[in-house]
Amino acid sequence: MAEQIMLREFQNKDSKELEDIIRETWNYDQFCSPKTAAKLAKVFLNSCLANQTFTQVAVENQIPVGIIMGKNRVSYRCPLKFRVKLILSIISLYLSKEGRHVSKMFQNVNDIDKELLEDSKKNYQGEVAFFAINSKCRGKGLGKKLFHSLLAYMERENIHEFYLFTDTTCNYQFYEHQGMTRRCEKSHSLTIKNQRSDMNFFLYEYQW
């Protein structure tokens, strides 16, 4: 009988499995070498860990299969240990020409996110800093379980309005099913291995 999925806070030993989930979810191996894809996933995870005040990891058979991170933007202070890990992972990525190239592409995405937040003309109290699930575990209600753990955190923190960024590479309809509303949208074209990819980027918000 399969072990029941449990939720707990992030632990350092979770990093490798979560990096693999990131790498698969955002298809890093499609536009860079495996070595650079692994470094990029490490940077992404560390950047999220440096930008959160709440974590819940879904664990099945003692293996992390999903994670959600939230942020109280009022009380947030970047944890020193995660800041150091982020800096070291960025340095490692920048040591190669390929690493520097892909980092520029993701900087463009960060710039789009900033524009979306400015376009919202709102000062949100909370943020969904990161949310991802192992593709093999989708369809089990795991996403809903993780999202509801975040809602409970926001309620405890007395946060009545929060947001997240997503795009057309993700299952953004999930957020609509959870009661979130699309507030802002931007179209952008990315060039990956000489192929143009047209994408839409969204800012969703939750209020109660």
Average pLDDT over residues 19-32: 93
Closest listed residue to residue 18, CA positions, set 70, 75, 61, 65? 65
CA angle 143, 148, 149 (to 5 degrees): 100
More confident residue, 61 or 16: 16
pLDDT at 32 over 60: yes
pLDDT at 167 over 70: yes
Report CA-CA distances (Å) from 76 to 54, 60, 163, 189: 10, 30, 15, 33
Cβ atoms 198, 191 nearer than 8 A: no
What are the tokens at 188? 């952008």
User: In sequence order, what are the beta bridge partners of 192?
Assistant: 195
pLDDT at 1 over 60: no
pLDDT 10s digits, 54-84: 999 999 989 999 999 999 999 999 989 999 9
pLDDT at 31 over 90: no
pLDDT 10s digits, 100-150: 999 988 888 899 999 999 999 999 999 999 999 999 888 889 999 999 999
* CATH class of the 6-207 domain in this structure: alpha beta
